[in-house]
Amino acid sequence: MNASRPPPPDRASPRCQVAGTGAWLPERILTNADLEKLVETSDEWIVSRTGIRERRIADEGVHTSTMGAKAATRALERAGIPAREVDAILCATITPDMPFPCTACLIQREIGADRAFCFDLEAACTGFIYGLEIGRRLIESNAYKTILVVASEKLSSVTDWKDRNTCVLFGDGAGAVVVGPTTEEEAAAGRGILSTHLFTDGSLANALLIPGGGSKEPFSADVLEKRRHLVHMTGQDVFKAAVRYLAASARAALDANHVTPAELDWVVAHQANMRILQALSQRVEIPMERFVVNIHKYGNTSSASIPIVLDEALGEGKIKPGQTVLMCALGAGISWGSALIRW
Ligand code: UT7
């Protein structure tokens, strides 16, 4: 492990750091055995093809904003920053409480961050990395001091519980980080958000989507009957893209910072499929022991998965100050990206 490594000599000191993290998961557990009663599937198939054993499901009165507000409050507590000091709330989600206003506004109301301007961003499972990039740039502009990046998903509300291809994959939950300027000590030690790389390939937009319920196919009896308001996925196309592009975005992060795979302490990647994580591990030559994994407990929580697994790794004392953490994600769009942080 590489604690307290100095910054690469040819790079400026990082100006932005994650000041606190938080997560919130609903208590209700849906196991693979429960799913066996809903669709023609088996615990053996789900575990061997995905690594998922159970996922959390939010109760009816718990919305994306409810979960996001709880994760945000925890992140602010960890950062020691009162809600009224938050300059902006960005909420990454594909399951907003409603088409508008944005879920970030509802989180603001819930946590009392009344000085903050608020907006949602929609980059599916890559949403948290996109949010981190925007948060980082807002801080680096010197115009703002505290940005709350929240990622919250109630995927159970858009899951087709009759489709075994997709219903076994998803779960509900939220994560959040507070992004702020580096302290003098952090900057001198080269600690902070070192890079973010974002990518999109719209030609693969049809591989993973909710086709109905938007302006193209407004909600109607026909949309409802054909279940077009729910998630549709061509799993193998997304799988192949994930392996290829996650590896490429990981290399982009490492190359940009002159960090070798051997120097990396942790990989905090989107938790979509254990086999994708294993393929990534092989392609970038980073052993699985350095991947933080919780897919077996929560399934795929889309944009929320990285801040949830990050918060868990920090809570367990895995990630220590001075260590280098690679994040990468891929999702609908398709969109993908990576971030490198020295903690
Ligand atoms: O988070 C955003 C990014 N999302 C992802 O990265 C997801 C990427 N895709 C995947 O993770 C995988 O493609 C899946 C887990 C979705 C599917 O795994 P797969 O190995 O690609 O399976 P498949 O779709 O090729 O299906 C293989 C077989 C099919 O049966 P036949 O046609 O060979 O007879 C499916 O009908 O497995 C069948 N199958 C199932 N069987 C039992 C599909 N789902 C199930 C199921 N239980 N739940």
Ligand 1 atom nearest to 233, measured from its CA: 16
Distance 196 CA to ligand 1 centre (A): 31
**Is 282 a domain residue?**
yes
pLDDT given for residue 178 in this prediction: 98
Based on the domain organization, do 151 and 202 belong to the same domain? Answer: no
pLDDT digit string (tens) for 126-169?
999 999 999 999 999 999 999 999 999 999 999 999 999 999 99
pLDDT given for residue 1 in this prediction: 45
Structural domain that includes position 251: 192-342
Number of domains composing the chain: 2
Based on the domain organization, do 204 and 220 belong to the same domain? Answer: yes
Banded pLDDT at 11 (limits 50, 70, 90): low
Which residues, 6 or more positions from 125, have their beta carbon under 8 angstroms from its beta carbon?
270, 272, 300, 302, 303, 305, 329, 330, 331, 332, 335
Share of the chain above pLDDT 90, in %: 96
Strand order in the sheet with 324-331: 192-200, 335-342, 324-331, 266-269
- Size of the chain in residues: 343
Residue 340 gets which letter from DSSP?
E
Instruction: Assess whether 270 carries a catalytic annotation.
Output: yes
Domain boundary among 184, 217, 244: 184
Provide the β-strand partners of residue 92.
121, 151
**Is 1 a domain residue?**
no
**Is 4 a domain residue?**
no
16, 91, 102, 125: the catalytic one is: 125
91, 270, 273, 328: the catalytic one is: 270
For the cut 90, the answer to whether the pLDDT of residue 252 exceeds it is yes
Range 81-101 average pLDDT: 98
Q: What is the CATH number of the domain that holds 213?
A: 3.40.47.10
Based on the domain organization, do 117 and 161 belong to the same domain? Answer: yes
Instruction: Assess whether 32 carries a catalytic annotation.
Output: no
Domain boundary among 162, 184, 206: 184
End-to-end Cα separation, the chain, in angstroms: 13
Answer for the pair 69, 97: CB distance below 8 angstroms, yes or no.
no
Query: What average pLDDT does the chain have?
Result: 96
* 54 phi, psi to nearest 5 deg: -155, 165
For the cut 50, the answer to whether the pLDDT of residue 244 exceeds it is yes
**Is 260 a domain residue?**
yes
For the cut 80, the answer to whether the pLDDT of residue 19 exceeds it is yes
Ligand 1 atom nearest to 242, measured from its CA: 6
pLDDT given for residue 12 in this prediction: 78
Distance 330 CA to ligand 1 centre (A): 17
Instruction: Assess whether 125 carries a catalytic annotation.
Output: yes
Domain boundary among 132, 163, 184: 184
